[in-house]
Structure 1
């Protein structure tokens, strides 16, 4: 998310990219499009951060469904990170015009490693979830 927000605030790069994609647009249209894109991006980041926070809190309370959802999201993140690294190493990214800076690759590898570690740790703490299920089932008994 930090990388995404940093890219959102790189206005010059966004304007250059918009100008490259739509050379017939005027500066006012490009500025309006970039401003709208930044606002939309910030709203998406806020929604994702809120969702992650709620899921993490539910998991901390022992909800297994939250652990499963976080595992799926984390696995998708790991696979996407591996795809980016393979695309860069194989030259696919350069062929389609995507520029991956070394910093982007380092952040991708670190993020994928952290996500994989979080998945492993979530599933290694199974006793927390078993204990929670036992407490919940005892609570429901008359």
Structure 2
């Protein structure tokens, strides 16, 4: 039995869910960063959107976009890692936040897959690369699995609330 100074043992399913969240965020960020470093595509898109800009302006805009994207990617991985670790420690609020984020990710992933398979994406002029579809399938599966695993061991979160309440009364 865990005492007030001993951390509660993390159930195996919760630990797996934690690593699935971190893996999903990592895979998504790796794909995003790979897209950021495709300068030719970024420059072509900037030129298409702003044909009046000079090359120096386009280069500056692309460089700024890459830097901002890297900052966002770092923040996303840190946020997911922190939320997943907090969830593993039994904090129900972190489980709820991850559920909301994960459900949105699963819904968006399914939408992307349906839009790509039905041709809607092509009709809208959105090109879906095979690697993007593969990343979507993998991250959607990881997120859905992590959500299910978090709720398979709901007692872990009730126990944590009870331990926290008892330690606050002492």
Report the equivalent of 1:117.
145
Report the equivalent of 1:82.
110
Q: Are 2:168 and 1:140 aligned?
A: yes
**Separation in structure 2 between the aligned mates of residue 105 and residue 117 of structure 1, nearest angstrom:** 18
Instruction: Report the alpha carbon displacement of residue 46 of structure 1 after superposing the two structures with TM.
Output: 1.3
Alignment root-mean-square deviation, CA: 1.2
With a CA cutoff of 8 Å and minimum separation of 6, indicate the structure with the bigger relative contact order: 2
- Residue 94 (structure 2) aligned to one of 36, 46, 66: 66
TM-score normalised by structure 2 residue count: 0.79
Instruction: Report the alpha carbon displacement of residue 138 of structure 1 after superposing the two structures with TM.
Output: 2.2
Q: Are 2:23 and 1:14 aligned?
A: no
Deviations 1:90-125 (A, max 9, x none): 212112211101111111011100100010011112
> What SS does the corresponding residue of 2:80 show, helix, strand or coil?
helix
TM-score normalised by structure 1 residue count: 0.93
> What SS does the corresponding residue of 1:88 show, helix, strand or coil?
helix
**Separation in structure 2 between the aligned mates of residue 138 and residue 97 of structure 1, nearest angstrom:** 57
Report the equivalent of 1:128.
156
How many positions carry a matched residue from both structures? 142
- Unaligned stretches of 5+ residues in structure 1: none
Report the equivalent of 1:26.
54
- Unaligned stretches of 5+ residues in structure 2: 1-28
